[in-house]
Amino acid sequence: MFKSLAYKEWIKLRIYWGLIFLAHLAFCLFLCLQLRRICKVNAALSVWDNWLFKDFLFFRPCQFGPLLMGIVFAALQFFPEILAKRLRLVLHLPLSEERAVGAHLGVGLGLLTLAFLPGVALLAFCASIWFPHEFLLNLAYIYAPWLLGGYAAYLFSAFTLLEPTWRYRVFNFLLGASFVRLCYFPTTYDGYLRLLAWLGLATAAAVVLPLLSANRFGKGYGS
Amino acid sequence: MPPVIECRNLTHYFGSKPALRDVSWQVLPGRICGLLGRNGAGKTTTINILNSFIEPTAGRCLLFGEDAHRLSPSVKARIGYLIEGHVQYGFFNVRQIEKFYAPFYPKWNPDIYYHLISKLDIAEKQRVSTMSCGQRSQVALGLILAQNPDLIIFDDYSMGLDPGYRRLFVEVIRDYAADRKRSILLTSHIIQDLEGLIDDVIIYQRGRVLIDMELKDLLGNFRKFVFETAGDFKDFYDEPNHLRLERGEKTSTLYGFLDQTAASVSLNQLGIACGRGFREEKIPLEDIFIALTGKY
């Protein structure tokens, strides 16, 4: 049954997912080419210097990429479900509500990961050509909260979209915006190191929120 | 045999506005039941409660003996549900949507679906979103029938359908239920289509059950008497006794569960002379519905 739901989500999202995947990959490739040009012209040392002492990150333009992707992806996935209350079709399927909605979230998070990773891997690979290992690790520490912000944006957008009443939608949106803000404090070297695990756990826990909204939808709130 | 659907003292409020008030009825196995009522009478609220999309303020609904809000997946697999407006996934084409639903239902029969689809002028790769309302209704119906469900709930199946598609819909339902092994609950505002289709009729009025009986009893016992208007009297309606008097310019009409003698007595009690042209006229289901629920 998960396979069937995954099939449905794939048919619904494949074109959009392909576009998001390509756009993210193209953007990361552009950053890599920029980095290559700077390293060739000014030498990698100047990039390190800017990174360490002036807090200038060559990949900072990527900062809001995951966030944007998370929001857009959740909208593309769940907007068709709430239009004409199509979610009723899913909730009527012979499986539990939690499994049905959970499968949707699983597919969404999986596709989002598949859209994120190649671009991130490309950036990491390019960075590994010019920078030492500890800089790569630092890159990961800086990038991880942004990535978590993307997942959180996806989950909180789903939480907001599936919610059947406007009052709670506004509340959910504000809650989501506050949470996502936590992932976007100005980055300093290892600034998120101690927070990262907690942020990861909190983002993982946010998976239950869209299930709550779906449950409220199922109970007919706002009808 | 235990009922397939049982509503017990169902009450529901939207805020302070009552939508259903102490509603109780049941559908027995093998029966086709029409749930009728005017707009806002509470039909869709009931259907939404039955499908667990609304939790009632009080009372409960049982489907195959299970609470509608805690249906097990195995019972859900026995219930086909057509959402008002024939809502389906627009991004699927005809083949994809069948492939999606098939694994969920153990008794899935694709032949039923493709047989119905073959009657329509649609390509296999045509997306549901590009179909007409009538075509989409047949896709939705085919998907429900292919489940081989023991109970089907049609919420306003006739919405947006032209007479041809309505006729096709009714014929398919009738053929499907001919073996008397499956139960159907349906709502529709096109009452005349239901006359040769349903076995039982439930009529709602302002969130209450006004009528709950076999259709043949309703058609056989509810009568219309016409007489020439004479004297001064006003329209009259006695809801508990289902008695309605309508004054016309030239002819007036009395409706109710009455024979000719009882009709004369009723008119006499109302102080109305009915001597001239007093006669019984045939009354179809739609007119019975209007007589019971009113025009306005």
Cα–Cα dist A18/A111, whole Å: 10
Mean pLDDT taken over chain A: 88
Q: Tell me whether residues A4 and B104 touch, CB distance under 8 A.
A: yes
Nearest to A94 among B48, B76, B100 (CB): B76
Mean pLDDT taken over chain B: 89
Angle at which helix A133-162 crosses helix A65-82, to 10 degrees, equals 20
Task: Based on the fold, state whether residues B25 and B153 are members of the same structural domain.
Answer: yes
Q: Which residue bears the tokens 């499908």?
A: B51
Nearest to A1 among B54, B91, B104 (CB): B104
Cα–Cα dist B188/B154, whole Å: 8
Nearest to A4 among B48, B91, B103 (CB): B103
Task: Based on the fold, state whether residues B151 and B36 are members of the same structural domain.
Answer: yes
Task: Based on the fold, state whether residues B64 and B205 are members of the same structural domain.
Answer: yes
The shortest C-alpha distance from B196 to chain A (Å) reads 30
Cα–Cα dist B247/A55, whole Å: 88
- Of the residues B63, B67, B69, B91, the best mutation for testing chain A's interface (the one with the most A CB atoms within 10 Å of its CB) is B91
Task: Based on the fold, state whether residues B200 and B259 are members of the same structural domain.
Answer: no
List, in sequence order, the alpha helices (H) in chain A.
2-42, 44-53, 65-82, 87-91, 97-130, 133-162, 166-182, 196-205, 208-218
Which value does ipTM take for this structure? 0.86
Tell me which of B217, B248, B269 is where a domain ends: B217
* The dihedral sign for the CA sequence A89, A95, A96, A101: negative
Q: How many separate domains does chain B show?
A: 2
Task: Based on the fold, state whether residues B237 and B120 are members of the same structural domain.
Answer: no
Confirm if A51 and A189 have CB atoms less than 8 A apart: no
Q: So what's the pLDDT on residue A188? A: 62
- pLDDT over 90, % of chain B: 49
Task: Based on the fold, state whether residues B197 and B257 are members of the same structural domain.
Answer: no
Residues β-bridged to residue B213: B201
Angle at which helix A44-53 crosses helix A2-42, to 10 degrees, equals 110
The shortest C-alpha distance from A185 to chain B (Å) reads 39
Run of H or E residues at B181: none
Q: So what's the pLDDT on residue A187? A: 65
Q: Tell me whether residues B52 and A91 touch, CB distance under 8 A.
A: yes
Task: Based on the fold, state whether residues B40 and B184 are members of the same structural domain.
Answer: yes
Interface of chain A toward chain B, CB-CB under 8 angstroms: 1, 3-4, 7-8, 11-12, 80, 84-86, 88-89, 91-96, 217-220, 223
Mean per-residue pLDDT for A174-198?
83
Which amino acid is located at A191 in the chain? G
Q: Tell me whether residues A86 and B89 touch, CB distance under 8 A.
A: yes
Mean per-residue pLDDT for A35-44?
80
Task: Based on the fold, state whether residues B89 and B183 are members of the same structural domain.
Answer: yes
Q: Which of B42, B53, B290 is CA-nearest to residue A214?
A: B53
Q: pTM for the whole thing?
A: 0.86
Vertex A26, ends A25 and A31: CA angle to 5°? Answer: 95
Which amino acid is located at B275 in the chain? G
Q: Residue B99: pLDDT above 90? A: yes
Task: Based on the fold, state whether residues B227 and B268 are members of the same structural domain.
Answer: yes
Q: What is the pLDDT of residues B50-93, one digit of tens each?
A: 988 888 999 999 999 999 988 899 999 999 998 888 889 999 99
Tell me which of B166, B186, B217 is where a domain ends: B217
Mean per-residue pLDDT for A72-81?
94
Mean per-residue pLDDT for B102-121?
90
Q: Tell me whether residues A1 and B103 touch, CB distance under 8 A.
A: yes
The shortest C-alpha distance from B10 to chain A (Å) reads 15
The shortest C-alpha distance from B73 to chain A (Å) reads 4
Q: Residue B92's closest chain A neighbor by CA?
A: A11
Task: Based on the fold, state whether residues B29 and B173 are members of the same structural domain.
Answer: yes
Mean per-residue pLDDT for B25-40?
93
3-state secondary structure of B92: coil
Task: Based on the fold, state whether residues B32 and B73 are members of the same structural domain.
Answer: yes
Q: How many CB pairs under 8 A join A and B?
A: 72
Q: Residue A222: pLDDT above 90? A: no
Q: What is the pLDDT of residues A83-116, one digit of tens each?
A: 878 898 998 899 988 999 999 999 999 999 999 8
Range of the domain at B86: 5-217
Q: From its phi and psi, is residue A90 left (phi > 0), alpha (psi between -120 and 50) or beta?
A: alpha
Q: Which residues on chain B are in Cβ contact (under 8 Å) with A96?
A: 73
The shortest C-alpha distance from B122 to chain A (Å) reads 20
Tell me which of B217, B250, B265 is where a domain ends: B217
**Joined tokens for residue B269:** 């009690």
Q: So what's the pLDDT on residue B235? A: 83
Q: Which residues on chain A are in Cβ contact (under 8 Å) with B139?
A: none
Q: What is the CATH number of the domain that holds B202?
A: 3.40.50.300
Q: What is the pLDDT of residues A111-159, one digit of tens each?
A: 999 998 898 888 888 888 888 887 778 778 888 888 899 999 999 999 9
**Joined tokens for residue A153:** 């944006």
Q: So what's the pLDDT on residue A196? A: 86
The shortest C-alpha distance from B54 to chain A (Å) reads 4
Q: Residue A223: pLDDT above 70? A: no
Under the banding of pLDDT at 50, 70 and 90, the label for residue A189 is: low
Confirm if A135 and A51 have CB atoms less than 8 A apart: yes
Q: What is the pLDDT of residues B198-214, one digit of tens each?
A: 999 999 999 999 999 99
- Of the residues A2, A11, A17, A98, the best mutation for testing chain B's interface (the one with the most B CB atoms within 10 Å of its CB) is A11
Task: Based on the fold, state whether residues B25 and B93 are members of the same structural domain.
Answer: yes
Which amino acid is located at B60 in the chain? R
Q: Which residues on chain B are in Cβ contact (under 8 Å) with A220?
A: 48-49, 53-55
